[in-house]
């Protein structure tokens, strides 16, 4: 009897050890210059996924925020990040460098798609992209699709030469478009209104947040193509069965009370769904822009 009891204890201990070894953390990654805010936004989703995927060997959810595309590339390559959520341009750039797989679309802020606007002051003589030659434009950040990649691609496709962005406003050579990063989206439109820069890029979705007085002082000079709002990627080498469970769990969130509550906390996300026509078709316009521009991704 004593021997049987001892054997039972040994087996139970071995099972516990095996479970602790086999259980693992699922890590969601993001790129941001405000890590504390980003972690607060992503953490409810990380916890939710961990709970839902407990049967797949996940015992904990974690959020990792990095500062740049190269850092994200490194984290995905070394397996430190499993899931990466971002807008299309940085997601495709990272996929190109790591073979990460784009699996879903995220409706961030209730938007399935979005585009970028280039704005000027209402009284500005700038009417076309060519008129920006010799002028200064404000971009948001070097990893922003609507605040950088889309508008810069539009300038390059129009045959304009864009100088590397500076941290301070300087003189603009007559044959080039100079640029500066505003870092905070709201800074860009303020700089245009105050005459600090000649033009600025912003997401069309941000136009709704402007005060009526601000809207009266700006004019939309150019609109870019429309692209998916955000996409979900998984790292190369992530277990296929787990990847499929992640897909199913994210898609099902909008159909449960708990899932909807987490989505609202997650920057008012409406849902996760399949990319229309699949990733290749849905992201083709973004790939074309990357191919036809001189934006050097790997250095950021």
The pLDDT of residue 142 = 82
Work out the average pLDDT over 108-134: 95
Residue the block writes with tokens 């700038």: 126
Tell me the pTM. Answer: 0.79
Residue 131 Cα to chain centre, angstroms: 30
- Continuous H helices in 105-159: 150-157
Angstrom distance (rounded) from CA 38 to CA 29: 10
**Contact present, 49 and 26 (Cβ < 8 Å):** yes
pLDDT in tens, 195-252: 999 999 999 988 888 899 999 999 999 999 899 999 999 999 999 999 999 999 999 9
| Residue 19 CB burial class (10 angstroms; 0-12, 13-18, ≥19) | exposed
* One-character DSSP codes across 97-137: HH--EEEEEE-GGG-SEE-EEEEEETT----SGGGGTT-EE
DSSP-based three-state secondary structure for 199: strand
pLDDT in tens, 2-15: 444 544 444 444 44
The pLDDT of residue 23 = 65
Domains, the chain, with CATH or none: 15-111+230-279 (3.40.190.10), 116-224 (3.40.190.10)
**Contact present, 218 and 193 (Cβ < 8 Å):** yes
């Amino acid at each position: 009897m004593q021997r049987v009891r001892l054997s039972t204890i040994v087996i139970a201990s071995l099972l516990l050890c095996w479970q602790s070894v086999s259980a693992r953390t699922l890590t969601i990654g993001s790129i941001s210059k405000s890590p504390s805010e980003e972690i607060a936004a992503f953490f409810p989703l990380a916890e939710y996924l961990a709970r839902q995927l407990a049967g797949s060997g996940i015992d904990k959810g974690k959020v990792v925020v990095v500062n740049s595309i190269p850092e994200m590339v490194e984290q995905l390559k070394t397996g430190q990040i499993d899931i990466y959520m971002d807008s299309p341009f940085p997601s495709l750039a990272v996929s190109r460098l790591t073979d990460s797989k784009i699996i879903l679309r995220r409706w961030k802020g209730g938007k399935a798609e979005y585009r970028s606007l280039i704005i000027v002051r209402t009284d500005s003589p700038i009417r076309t992209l060519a008129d920006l030659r010799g002028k200064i434009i404000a971009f948001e950040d070097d990893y922003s699709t609507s605040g950088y990649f889309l508008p810069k691609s539009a300038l390059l496709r129009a045959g304009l030469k864009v100088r590397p962005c500076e941290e301070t406003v300087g003189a603009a050579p007559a044959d080039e478009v100079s640029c500066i990063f505003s870092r905070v989206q709201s800074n860009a439109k303020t700089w245009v209104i105050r005459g600090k820069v000649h033009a600025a890029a912003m997401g069309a979705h941000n136009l709704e947040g402007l005060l009526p007085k601000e809207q009266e002082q700006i004019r939309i000079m150019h609109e870019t193509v429309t692209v998916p709002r955000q996409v979900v990627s998984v790292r190369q080498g992530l277990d296929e069965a787990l990847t499929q469970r992640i897909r199913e769990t994210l898609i099902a969130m909008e159909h449960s009370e708990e899932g909807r509550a987490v989505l609202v906390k997650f920057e008012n996300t409406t849902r996760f769904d399949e990319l229309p026509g699949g990733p290749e078709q849905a992201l083709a316009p973004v790939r074309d822009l990357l191919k036809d521009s001189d934006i050097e991704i790997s250095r950021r």
